[in-house]
Amino acid sequence: MLRLAVPNKGVLSEAAQVILKEAGYRPRKDSKELVVVDPENSCELFFLRPRDIAVYVGEGTLDAGITGRDMLIDSGAPADEVVPLGFGRSTFRFAAPPGAFSNVKDLNGKRVATAYAGLLTNYLEEQSVDARVIKLDGAVETAIRLGVADAVADVVETGTTLRNVGLEVFGDPITTSEAILIKQVGAPENNGFQQLIRRLQGVLAARDYVMIDYDIRVERIDEAIEVTPGMEGPTVSPLHREGWVAVRAMIRRKGHQQVMDRLWDLGAKAILITDIYACRL
């Protein structure tokens, strides 16, 4: 039985449940359900706070979990990132009133408020900066105005929260984050875990790729294959029409209109793009 941790609240929760549902796992009926048993997939889903997930997985009490990369680093738990999941993207940045600081070295002897004390402490050590880390639970942007800190280090997505309190980012990004699938360092990967990885990768591929079909004259096929090389080479089938072939390949969803333009310029006809409902690569 695979024991999997899923964020029960917060920014990652909804998208994590959607990707697991698309991967064929049983969804929970309501937000109060904390454990879901899914016998069809030999899986148990535990709904936990995203911050705690790395701790459970690092201890080996759960086999795998979905959390944020920044949260995994912050926890210091012995868990590895296995699959980046492409949602919950953010950067982790320093911010302060405009003009106060220009890079991390300016923070020597200063106070920096954060909800990610582990992540920040490691980074300051790496940069040989001696600053005092003020650990808060959230809403850290207010700490400067209230005189508790000189700068903050926090999650930035759109930057709206910072703008609203008149702060600006400075220095290099401390880290970039997204939701990730994690497992305990060195833990054996059982069948259920391998299957979970393949299913999640299938969902990600179905989101990122589309299928393209087109007809092209035989003498242009090599040029066309350069435009649509597919995963392991495109399928090329004979057409009933003399001198023409039909081609089918997976291409990235992003930029598919440009690919269609290039094929059109090569003389391709009947160019069709279709969504991939599910796939296993």
Ligand X SMILES: O=P(O)(O)OC[C@H]1O[C@H](OP(=O)(O)OP(=O)(O)O)[C@H](O)[C@@H]1O
The candidate with the shortest Cα–Cα distance to 233, out of 214, 254, 250, is 250
Q: Which of residues 177-206 bind ligand ATP (CB under 6 A)?
A: 177
Direct distance between the N- and C-terminal alpha carbons of the chain, in angstroms, rounded to an integer: 24
- The residues, any chain, with a CB within 8 Å of residue 51's CB and separated by 6 or more, are 67, 71, 74, 75
Tell me how far apart the alpha carbons of residues 193 and 176 are, in angstroms, rounded to a whole number. Answer: 26
Tell me how far apart the alpha carbons of residues 70 and 89 are, in angstroms, rounded to a whole number. Answer: 10
The nearest distance, CB 177 to ligand X, in angstroms, is 11
Tell me how far apart the alpha carbons of residues 42 and 37 are, in angstroms, rounded to a whole number. Answer: 8
* C-alpha to C-alpha distances, 104 to 6, 23, 117, nearest whole angstrom: 34, 42, 16
Tell me how far apart the alpha carbons of residues 190 and 58 are, in angstroms, rounded to a whole number. Answer: 16
- Nearer CB in complex with ligand X: 161/190: 161
| Residue 92, token pair as written in the block | 């982790």
| Residue 62, token pair as written in the block | 């759960």
- Answer for which of 84, 159, 192, 267 binds ligand X (CB under 6 A) is 159
Q: Which of residues 40-69 bind ligand ATP (CB under 6 A)?
A: 50-51, 68
- Nearer CB in complex with ligand ATP: 50/234: 50
Interface mask toward ligand X for 195-234; x: CB under 6 A = ----------------------------------------
- Nearer CB in complex with ligand X: 154/215: 154
The nearest distance, CB 158 to ligand ATP, in angstroms, is 7
- Answer for which of 160, 191, 242, 277 binds ligand X (CB under 6 A) is 160
The nearest distance, CB 125 to ligand X, in angstroms, is 23
Q: Which of residues 115-154 bind ligand X (CB under 6 A)?
A: 138-139, 141, 154
The contact set with ligand ATP (CB under 6 A) reads 9-12, 50-51, 68, 70-71, 88, 90, 138, 155, 157, 177
The contact set with ligand X (CB under 6 A) reads 138-139, 141, 154-161
